[in-house]
Amino acid sequence: MNMDQQSGQRPQLSREEREEIGRRTNAGFARVERTAANEREAEIPTGPIGQQLTEEEIRRRVGSGNFETAKNDPQTGSINS
């Protein structure tokens, strides 16, 4: 896959070349995913990580104005927020 010296663009890959790149990429991801977990650990912890924050702690972290605005906001929060 050489860059065209005059246009600075890469030539189009064939379908077979694109599929081979995809297979190699997926194999690399699968290899990493298999080694990421400790094989001796059968269970994944799902309990709470920390303690529940109080309203005072949240107010301190975000600021009183932001806390009051968010508390009185009638809009439903985004799932990505």
Residue 40, judged by CB atoms within 10 A of its CB (0-12, 13-18, 19+), counts as: exposed
DSSP 8-state assignment for residue 47: S
Rg (CA), the chain: 25
- What contacts 53, CB < 8 A, 6 or more positions away? 61
List, for residues 21-40, the tens digit of each pLDDT value. 999 998 888 877 765 555 56
3-state secondary structure of 63: coil
Average pLDDT over residues 60-64: 88
List, for residues 44-59, the tens digit of each pLDDT value. 667 777 778 888 988 8
pTM of the predicted protein model: 0.32
Task: Label residue 20 by pLDDT band (50, 70, 90).
Answer: very high
Q: How far apart are the C-alpha atoms of 18 and 44, rounded to whole Å?
A: 36
